[in-house]
Homo-oligomer: A and B are copies of this chain.
Amino acid sequence: MKNFTSPGLLLDMAAFHALFDAVAAVGCTPLGGLNRVAASHEDGQSRDLVCAWLAQRHFKISVDRVGNIYALLTLADPTAPWVLTGSHLDSQPRGGRFDGAYGVIGACIVADAMRTCAQQQFSHNLGVVIWTNEEGARFSPSMLGSGVFAGRYTSDFALSRQDVHGVTLAQALGQIGYLGDSEAPAVPAAYVELHIEQGGLLEISNAGIGVVEGNWGAVKYAVTLRGTAAHTGPTPMEQRRDALLAAAKLVVACRAISDATFGKLLTSVGRMDIEPNSSNVIAGSVTVYADLRTTDNALLIESSLEFERAASTIAADAKIEVDLQQVVNRPAGIFDTGLCTLVEQVATAKGYRPMRLSTIAGHDAIALCPLCPTAMIFVPSKDGISHNEAEFTSSTDLEAGLDVLGGTLHELLRKPLTP
**Closest chain B residue to A278, Cβ basis:** B137
- Picked from B94, B137, B263, the residue with its CB within 8 Å of the CB of A279 is B137
- Residues of A226-277 whose CB lies within 8 A of B: 228-239, 242, 244-245, 247-249, 251-252, 255, 258-259, 263, 266, 268-277
Q: How far is the CB of A262 from chain B (nearest CB, A)?
A: 9
- Picked from B216, B231, B244, B385, the residue with its CB within 8 Å of the CB of A233 is B216
**Closest chain B residue to A263, Cβ basis:** B237
A291 at the interface (CB under 8 A from B): yes
Residues of B near A386 (CB, < 8 A) are: 230-231, 234-235
Complex Cα spacing A84 to B276, Å? 32
In the bound complex, do residue A279 and residue B291 qualify as a contact, i.e. CB atoms below 8 Å apart?
Answer: yes
Q: How far is the CB of A283 from chain B (nearest CB, A)?
A: 6
In the bound complex, do residue A387 and residue B140 qualify as a contact, i.e. CB atoms below 8 Å apart?
Answer: no
Interface size in chain A (residues, C-beta < 8 A)? 71
Residues of B near A277 (CB, < 8 A) are: 93, 270-273
Complex Cα spacing A376 to B272, Å? 38
In the bound complex, do residue B360 and residue A94 qualify as a contact, i.e. CB atoms below 8 Å apart?
Answer: no
Q: Do A280 and B135 form a contact, CB below 8 Å, given A228-B388, A291-B232, A361-B231?
A: yes
Complex Cα spacing A198 to B140, Å? 38
A92 at the interface (CB under 8 A from B): yes
**Closest chain B residue to A283, Cβ basis:** B270
A281 at the interface (CB under 8 A from B): yes
Residues of B near A233 (CB, < 8 A) are: 198-199, 216, 218, 266, 291, 293, 359-362
Q: Do A92 and B276 form a contact, CB below 8 Å, given A284-B388, A386-B230, A387-B231?
A: yes
Q: How far is the CB of A26 from chain B (nearest CB, A)?
A: 18
Q: Do A269 and B244 form a contact, CB below 8 Å, given A235-B199, A281-B387?
A: yes
In the bound complex, do residue A289 and residue B279 qualify as a contact, i.e. CB atoms below 8 Å apart?
Answer: yes
Residues of B near A36 (CB, < 8 A) are: none
A136 at the interface (CB under 8 A from B): yes
- Residues of A265-310 whose CB lies within 8 A of B: 266, 268-284, 289, 291, 293
* A200, A220, A248, A389: residue with the most chain B Cβ atoms closer than 10 Å: A248
Residues of B near A177 (CB, < 8 A) are: none
Q: How far is the CB of A209 from chain B (nearest CB, A)?
A: 17
- Residues of A368-394 whose CB lies within 8 A of B: 384-389
A197 at the interface (CB under 8 A from B): yes
A5 at the interface (CB under 8 A from B): no
A345 at the interface (CB under 8 A from B): no
Residues of B near A198 (CB, < 8 A) are: 231, 233-234
Complex Cα spacing A384 to B272, Å? 28
Complex Cα spacing A233 to B233, Å? 39
Q: A: which residues have CB within 8 A of B?
A: 92-95, 135-137, 140, 142, 197-200, 216, 218, 220, 228-239, 242, 244-245, 247-249, 251-252, 255, 258-259, 263, 266, 268-284, 289, 291, 293, 359-362, 384-389
